[in-house]
Amino acid sequence: MTDVGELTALLGEAPSFVRAKLGDRLDDPTRAFVALSPLLFVATTDDEGCLDISPKGDEPGFVQVADETTLLI
């Protein structure tokens, strides 16, 4: 896969309940979820598009919400 169009062609459109979860800001329910979460996953890609995902965990509260677009780990 190299773009969303290829993925959509293979799997079809995401259902509306999935699309409703998409957002580009941390709203109040998301902030509450982050505050209670003992686990997160950090994903990065290199220049060639290779993906690496690392689990990170600690007591709930180890991740702070700095603002509507920034998490402090």
The single residue listed with the structure tokens 């409703």 is 20
Q: What is the pTM of this model?
A: 0.67
DSSP per-residue codes, the chain: --SHHHHHHHH-PPPHHHHTT--SS--HHHHHHHHH-SEEEEEEE-TT--EEEEEEE-STTSSEEEETTEEE-
The pLDDT tens digits for 3-49 are 889 999 999 998 999 888 888 999 999 999 999 999 999 999 999 98
Q: What's the confidence (pLDDT) of residue 21?
A: 84
